[in-house]
Amino acid sequence: MKGQAAVTPESEVASDDTFLLDGQPYCPQSEWHLMLNKPSGILTAARDRRAPTVMDLLPNHYTRVRCMPVGRLDKDTEGLLLLTSNGELAHRLLAPKRGIVKVYQARVLGCLDADDVAAFSQGISLNDFTALPTRLTIQYAQQDQSLAVVELTEGKHRQVRRMFGSRGHEVISLTRLAFGPLTLDPGLAPGCFRVLTAQEADRLKEAVNLV
């Protein structure tokens, strides 16, 4: 039935047929794991009446199988967002005791220097908590603007922006580059996604001892 729509359960198929669901290749499986390059201006939520969410970027199939975001990226933060239908995997990836590293690239106002690097490495005190020691790597620093990479194991609300803000640097743009063992696929344009390979899914599970 190549090139035809399957409209009844009795539709006959061949072993080499390729299936598409909502325009995406489909094969029956018990779990789904996705990598999305989240664009700015999109909420990380299942649904919202007032604004578009990351689920609006995906075919409806993934909502039906409850493939949900692992944690959140702020509305104005871009980059790697993982989604999974495995609730235990999501829970373990987000558990503070696991120490899963998230890597962000931040463009900030002002000139970052060695004092900022030292402050991040010692842990920054904010109004409601003290951030754990964090690695800050300056990629370039100019008088009016700097670019840096931040590696942290926490993920509190607007944490990276608040940490830079405490040092007098407003964040212009923020992109997550990596989550645990996975890095953002450079071939994914903002708003696009792909299914994780079996090897990538295994690496995520190994990172949290879910084997």
Query: Where would I find the H helices in 45-142?
Result: 60-64, 87-94, 114-122
* pLDDT value, residue 24: 60
Catalytic hit among 56, 74, 185, 202: 74
Length of the chain: 211
Contacts of 31 (CB under 8 A, 6+ apart): 84, 85, 86, 201
Phi first, then psi: give them for residue 150, nearest 5 degrees. Answer: -120, 130
* pLDDT value, residue 4: 67
* pLDDT value, residue 15: 47
130: DSSP letter? B
* pLDDT value, residue 126: 93
77-84 and 171-179 strand pairing: parallel
Active site residue 74: yes
Contacts of 127 (CB under 8 A, 6+ apart): none
Angstrom distance (rounded) from CA 86 to CA 174: 27
Angstrom distance (rounded) from CA 180 to CA 200: 11
Half-sphere exposure of 210 (CA within 13 A, CB side): 16
Contacts of 69 (CB under 8 A, 6+ apart): 44, 45, 54, 81, 82, 83
Angstrom distance (rounded) from CA 112 to CA 143: 9
3-state secondary structure (DSSP) of residue 158: coil
State the first-to-last Cα distance of the chain, in angstroms, to the nearest integer. Answer: 38
Q: What is the pLDDT along the chain (211 residues), one digit of tens a residue?
A: 556 666 555 555 554 556 666 666 655 567 999 999 999 999 998 888 888 999 999 999 999 999 999 999 999 999 999 999 999 999 999 998 999 999 999 999 999 999 999 999 999 999 989 999 999 999 999 999 999 999 999 988 899 999 999 999 999 999 999 999 999 999 999 999 999 999 999 999 999 999 7
Q: CA of 189: how far to CAs of 43, 112, 173, 184, 185, in Å?
A: 17, 29, 17, 10, 9
Q: Considering the entire predicted model, what is its pTM?
A: 0.85
